Amino acid sequence: MTNYSETIIPLSKTKNILLLIGALIFVVIGVFIFLYEGSLFKRTMGIVSVIFFGACGIIALKKLFDTQPGLILNQDGITDNASGFPLGFVPWEEIVGIGEYTAHRQKFVVLLLQDPEKYINQGSAIAQKMKRANFNLCGSPFTISANSLQIRYEDLFSLLESRITAMT
């Protein structure tokens, strides 16, 4: 096992401001669609837009004022505070692989876990549902986007891949 020093990847205030602005724009569009479109389908899509992007905006706003690092990698494992519903600390021994998932041209690092149910069943009911949705979409509740971090996606993937290979 390689002896790595601790790596801290901070949350990006700039990226979170941009995420918040984007979410607010889509909330306004959703309200407009709901108020001024006649068909039930379009009005429903307006409501869905407000709910989904409103939640995204709340998460971006929360991360904007969060002083904790987004990710911490050390000898023992990885601590996740980057995602909307963070998993917290995950020991290297519980990570069995790494992959990628792409949704709407956005890439996510997928960390495959030995016992995903252990992490899915932690947190609030909403957090559990979101982690279950991640698991159903990409095979793991542990997905990381570089969108809120001070690191490029390619560098994040490479760093995690090298650590996982060395630690597992």
Per-residue model confidence as pLDDT tens digits over 32-74: 999 988 899 999 999 999 998 998 899 889 888 989 999 999 9
Least Cα distance to 148 among 68, 76, 28 occurs for: 68
CA-angle at 20, arms to 157 and 38, nearest 5°: 115
Least Cα distance to 164 among 99, 106, 82, 101 occurs for: 99
Same domain assignment for residues 82 and 131? yes
What is the total count of domains within the chain?
2
Same domain assignment for residues 138 and 87? yes
Same domain assignment for residues 127 and 84? yes
Q: Is the pLDDT of residue 2 over 60?
A: no
Last-in-domain residue among 42, 64, 86: 64
Q: Kindly tell me the number of DSSP H helices and DSSP E strands found in the chain.
A: 5, 7
Same domain assignment for residues 128 and 160? yes
Residue numbers of the domain that contains 54: 12-64
Same domain assignment for residues 159 and 79? yes
Of all helices (H) and strands (E), which one includes residue 100?
Answer: strand 95-103
Same domain assignment for residues 33 and 104? no
| pTM for the structure as a whole | 0.80
Least Cα distance to 84 among 26, 124, 136 occurs for: 124
| Res 1: pLDDT | 46
Q: What is the rounded CA–CA span in Å between residue 64 and residue 12?
A: 8
At 106, the pLDDT band (50, 70, 90 cuts) reads confident
Same domain assignment for residues 60 and 75? no
Q: Is the pLDDT of residue 132 over 80?
A: yes
| Res 47: pLDDT | 94
Domain assignment present for 117: yes
Same domain assignment for residues 75 and 158? yes
Stretch 97-125: mean pLDDT: 91
Q: Is the pLDDT of residue 153 over 90?
A: yes
